[in-house]
Every structure is written in structure tokens, then in C-alpha cells.
């Protein structure tokens, strides 16, 4: 059994107490014998329902809701009442419910968090908790935490600074850890660091859930982070710490500061990189080219773009390209135009992708000048890939790669239909948000959603199973390779560049096993692993089944 599971009836609450404990509650599925043993007689309707019958009722109520935000609220309520039933529902309907429990609906949930708040979930550590962060962490009821997802809420998806209302992100990410990779929910801890917000509308909102003060910056901010990291290391020494939705400077800075000291990664940087690389490897199979032949133009030059570019460079170097040659095949285009060496005061992460070229401030002109094989959008600028832009891309490539990866849906650089129609069916498309299949020119194009859920749950599971001391870029390369290998000929024939998401548990096993192997070969695994760790991975996975109490 995993930590947090009941191991004896002596620990099991009775009566109304067990009905109010979502991890133990079975609702109307408690048997007659359990009702007698646990003092539940009369506290439930007399008929005993199976889990399947409970699921039927839940589905009817869920799909009667009028919009996705209402569905999100309903699912959060179910999770707060009956965690096992919640995860069984998600597991059986994962493809349909992923957009509800995570992107794009979670963005709206975070934006309105203070107005839809029902019951606390996760742990809040505020700027006012300085010198007592350890005490706050010890308030969490579970002791064997293996994965922590933490945000400071400054750059939530494409919505910007949502302060403490960003808690929806770590909650959603950890729900996917359980649903996609089978990490037991008792081993998961969502945390929000409330260091304030600079969002004026939130500061003026009487229902805002965080501290209504401007953000900490500089040394004061660093002090909060350092105390937090030290406290996590002391209280949860076996935990993987995943950074989520930090602003670019902090995302890159915190990763650089801690990656060689603790077991940590940044999903926006490294998870996005791995799933994008996997999709790019899939796209090269569609186009019949190799990774080393690609010339890529990134629209957007923040933390995510940097992470993706760096991992692609590492993958190209495995093929024999020098670092200079690999970086020379990648260009950045930011809010000021094409990133070139002539630009003054370039940030360090952009400088390594700045090349000799005259300034260009029009995206279409940049495409015409550089002639990239692929256009990768990580800008959060909805609709930026206009018809002239995509038609220009199609004139310089027979099969242009178009990745519109910004979230939520309104921030996507283009839709699947626009990419396919405006390139006369030539585009090889992937997106950050889900889009429906497109029928064009007698062919059906099924776009892939390059969702980080393909990567981070499996990476985390592999780290947990191997008890790795550190997380390395080699693990994310292995994750991308595992995903690319799982892409079938039928998927390629319909233009998909990633395997179908309904296979996510199987894919997460493959990713976790590949990560565990890298951890062992790098000398980072502290657990003893067999040559093929697949069975060890499967043996650590949670399945949403009711416990038996009598």
C-alpha cells in the first residue's frame, strides 16, 4: 500500500467522520456489512449502489451543466466528497474531461477563483509566513509526500498575474499526476506561494483570496523561496519539486539555482520542451525529413521557448551537429521583432539564439527571409498566425510545421482549421489547446494537442520509482523519445504528431520506465531497479478502486 492508504480498521474513522473524508468515503457504495461495522446505519439511503451505478448518476449530473466552468466546479465538488469516484470518472473519460480539469477550463477557474471558491485544497504559504514556513508545511496531514507542484501565480497560462488564485494550476497538475500516471493522491501536495500580486483588478476585488499587496521582488522574494526550498528538503526529503507558471525571469533563475542541488524541474520550461520535441519528431516522420534538417522560427521568446529550443539543440547534437550548428538552426521572434545580434540589451536566454541579420519587425517578412521549415508559437498572442503569415510559410515549404502552443484556447496563435485551410492542407499542425478534426481536400486531419500531460506525470513517476536525486535534461530527452516511438503509422496517416491521448496511462508507463533507466545509468537512482523497470513502474501505480472495510 502507498502512504496515506488505510492499513487497518483501527485507523478508519466511523460514522459521519468517514463520510466527510473524501479519500475514504464510498458514499452509497458502502456495503451493508460496512455500514454496520462503521456506524453508518441510517446515515445513508438504504440501497447499496455499485461504483458503475454511481458513475452513471455522476455523468448525468456533470453533462447537464450548461458550460465548462460549471462542469469544473461540479468535478471539484466530487473530488472533495469522494476522491476515488472522482478519479474513476476521470480515468474512464480522460480525453473528454482533460479540457475541463485542466487546460483550457482551469484558466477560467483561476481567473474567477475567489468567486467560485467552495472548500480549501492544497497548502498556501504566504509572504507573512517568513521564518515559520516549516511550521506551515507540518500542518499538512500526509507525511510521505513524493511530488509537490508549486506556483507563485505570476504567469498563469496566458492570463498573467493571478496571485493566490493560481492555486488551480498545482491542483490540476496533481490531478493529472494521478489520472495519467497513477501517482497516489496521498503522495501529492499542491502549494501556492502568495507573495502578493500586481494585478490591479484583483487588488480591488473584495473576494480575492490572496494578500492584497504588490508582489515581493528582489532579495525579499528570494528569501521566501530559499526558506521554502529548505523547509521542503527538511520535511519532505524524498519529494520532487515541480515549479509551475512563474514569470520568465524567475522560472529560468529558480531552475538554474536549484536544479543541481535538489530534485526539481520546471514544467513550463522542460515539460513543454519534451512534448514539443516529441511532436517535432513526429512531424519529421510526416514530412519525411530528419530533425537535423529543420530550421525553426519561434514566435515568442520566453521561458517556454527557451526550454524547447535548448532541448531541440540537445537532440540535434545527438545526431552529430555541433552546438553552434544546432543553435544556428533556431531563430527567435519576440515583441520587438526578429532577435538578432544587432539588438541592444538582449536577455541572456535570447542572446544564444541571436544571429547576424538585419532587423525585421514583420513576421511574414521574417519567414520570407529565413525560410524556416517550422513555426512554433509560444507567445500567448491569439491569432498571431494570420492567413498571410501561414500562406507565406507554405510558399517556402512543401509541408510546413505549424505548432500553435499557447494556452488557453483564446491565446492560440491559430486554430487547426486555419492552419490546414490557409496552407491548402499542407500544414503539419499541433496545438496547446484541443481542436477538432478538420476535413479538407478530401482528407481528414486529426490535430495533436501537445499537452504537457504527455510528459510531466510520467517523468514524475519515473523519478519517484527510481528515487532519483536529481532531474536531468537527459530524462526529458528520454521522455520525448518514448513518446515518439509510440506514434503509429495510422496516427501519421491522419496528420497526428503524437499518439492519441486515450493511451496516456500506457504512454506514462513508457516515459516513467525510460526516465528510471536514465536515472540509473547516470548514477542518480537510489532505489534498486531491474534491467527493465516497467513492472516496477506499473506496481507503483494507483488505481481508483474502493477499499474494503468489512
What are the grid coordinates assigned to 280, written together? 517535432
- Residue count of the chain, please give it: 550
> How far apart are the C-alpha atoms of 357 and 249, rounded to whole Å?
26
Neighbours of 4 (CB within 10 A): 16
> How far apart are the C-alpha atoms of 531 and 165, rounded to whole Å?
44
Contacts of 64 by beta carbon, 8 Å cutoff, 6+ apart: none
Active site residue 236: no
Catalytic residue among 173, 208, 333, 454: 173
Sheet holding 147-151, edge to edge: 123-126, 188-194, 147-151, 240-243, 264-266
- DSSP-based three-state secondary structure for 514: helix
211-219 own/partner pairs: CB under 8 Å, 24+ apart: 211/126, 211/127, 211/128, 211/163, 211/164, 213/127, 215/154, 215/161, 216/127
* Angle between helical axes of 94-101 and 68-81 (0-180°, round to 10): 100
- DSSP-based three-state secondary structure for 250: helix
Catalytic residue among 72, 87, 102, 542: 102
Active site residue 208: no
- Report yes or no: 139 and 208 within 8 Å, Cβ to Cβ: no
In a 13 Å sphere around the CA of 235, the CA atoms on its Cβ side amount to 23
- Report yes or no: 227 and 260 within 8 Å, Cβ to Cβ: no
- Report yes or no: 454 and 507 within 8 Å, Cβ to Cβ: yes
Neighbours of 497 (CB within 10 A): 27
Question: What is the DSSP annotation of 117-150?
Answer: --S--SEEEEGGGTT-HHHHHTTSS-S---EEEE
State the DSSP H helix or E strand holding residue 235, giving kind and residue range, or none if neither: helix 218-235
What are the grid coordinates assigned to 19, written together? 463520510
Residues forming beta bridges with residue 468, ordered by sequence position:
525
Buried b (16+ CB within 10 A) or exposed e, 75-95: bbebbbbbbbbbbbbbbebbe
List residues with catalytic annotation. 102, 173
Amino acid at each position: 500500500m502507498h502512504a496515506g492508504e488505510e492499513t487497518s480498521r483501527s485507523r478508519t474513522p466511523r460514522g459521519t467522520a468517514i463520510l466527510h473524508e473524501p479519500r475514504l468515503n464510498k458514499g452509497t457504495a458502502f456495503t451493508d456489512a460496512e455500514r454496520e461495522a462503521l456506524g453508518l446505519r441510517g446515515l445513508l439511503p438504504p440501497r447499496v449502489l455499485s461504483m458503475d451505478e454511481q458513475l452513471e448518476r455522476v455523468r448525468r449530473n456533470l453533462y447537464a451543466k450548461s458550460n465548462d466552468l460549471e462542469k469544473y466546479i461540479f468535478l471539484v465538488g466530487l473530488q472533495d466528497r469522494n476522491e476515488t469516484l472522482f478519479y474513476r470518472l476521470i480515468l474512464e473519460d480522460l480525453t473528454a474531461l482533460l479540457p475541463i480539469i485542466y487546460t483550457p477550463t482551469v484558466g477560467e477557474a483561476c481567473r474567477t477563483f475567489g468567486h467560485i471558491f467552495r472548500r480549501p485544497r492544497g497548502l498556501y504559504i504566504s509572504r507573512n509566513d517568513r521564518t515559520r514556513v516549516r511550521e506551515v508545511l507540518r500542518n499538512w496531514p500526509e507525511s510521505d509526500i513524493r511530488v509537490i507542484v508549486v506556483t507563485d501565480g505570476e504567469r498563469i497560462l496566458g492570463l498573467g498575474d493571478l496571485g493566490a488564485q493560481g492555486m488551480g494550476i498545482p491542483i490540476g497538475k496533481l490531478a493529472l499526476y494521478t489520472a495519467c500516471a497513477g501517482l497516489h493522491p496521498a503522495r501529492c501536495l499542491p502549494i501556492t506561494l502568495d507573495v502578493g500580486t500586481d494585478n490591479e483588478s484583483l487588488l480591488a476585488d473584495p473576494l480575492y483570496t490572496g494578500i492584497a499587496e504588490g508582489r515581493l521582488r528582489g532579495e525579499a522574494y528570494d528569501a521566501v523561496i530559499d526558506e521554502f526550498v529548505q523547509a521542503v528538503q527538511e520535511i519532505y526529503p524524498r519529494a520532487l519539486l515541480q515549479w509551475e507558471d512563474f514569470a520568465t525571469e524567475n522560472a529560468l533563475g529558480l531552475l538554474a539555482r536549484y536544479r543541481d542541488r535538489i530534485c526539481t524541474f520546471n514544467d513550463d520550461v522542460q515539460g513543454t520542451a519534451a512534448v514539443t520535441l516529441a511532436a517535432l519528431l513526429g512531424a519529421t516522420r510526416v514530412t519525411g525529413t530528419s530533425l537535423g534538417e529543420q530550421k525553426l522560427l519561434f514566435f515568442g521568446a520566453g521561458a517556454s521557448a527557451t526550454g524547447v529550443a535548448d532541448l531541440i539543440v540537445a537532440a540535434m547534437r545527438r545526431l552529430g551537429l555541433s552546438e553552434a550548428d544546432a543553435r544556428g538552426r533556431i531563430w527567435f521572434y519576440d515583441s520587438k521583432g526578429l532577435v538578432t545580434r544587432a539588438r541592444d540589451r538582449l536577455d541572456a536566454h535570447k542572446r544564444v539564439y541571436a544571429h547576424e541579420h538585419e532587423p525585421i519587425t514583420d513576421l511574414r517578412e521574417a519567414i520570407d527571409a529565413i525560410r524556416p521549415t517550422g513555426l512554433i508559437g509560444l507567445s500567448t498572442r491569439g491569432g498571431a498566425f494570420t492567413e498571410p503569415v501561414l500562406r507565406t510559410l507554405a510558399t517556402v515549404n512543401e509541408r510546413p510545421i505549424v505548432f500553435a502552443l499557447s494556452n488557453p484556447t483564446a491565446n492560440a496563435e491559430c486554430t487547426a482549421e486555419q492552419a490546414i485551410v490557409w496552407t491548402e492542407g499542407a500544414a503539419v499542425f499541433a496545438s496547446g489547446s484541443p481542436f477538432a478534426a478538420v476535413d479538407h481536400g478530401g482528407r481528414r486531419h486529426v490535430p495533436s494537442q501537445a499537452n504537457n500531460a504527455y510528459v510531466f506525470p510520467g517523468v514524475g513517476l519515473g523519478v519517484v520509482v527510481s528515487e532519483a536525486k536529481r532531474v536531468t535534461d537527459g530524462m526529458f530527452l528520454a521522455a520525448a523519445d518514448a513518446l515518439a516511438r509510440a506514434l503509429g503509422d495510422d496516427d501519421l496517416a491522419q496528420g497526428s504528431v503524437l499518439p492519441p491521448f486515450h493511451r496516456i496511462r500506457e504512454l506514462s508507463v513508457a516515459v516513467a520506465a525510460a526516465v528510471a533507466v536514465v536515472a540509473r545509468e547516470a548514477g542518480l537512482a537510489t532505489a534498486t531497479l531491474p534491467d527493465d523497470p516497467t513492472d516496477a513502474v506499473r506496481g507503483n501505480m494507483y488505481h481508483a478502486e474502493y477499499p474494503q472495510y468489512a
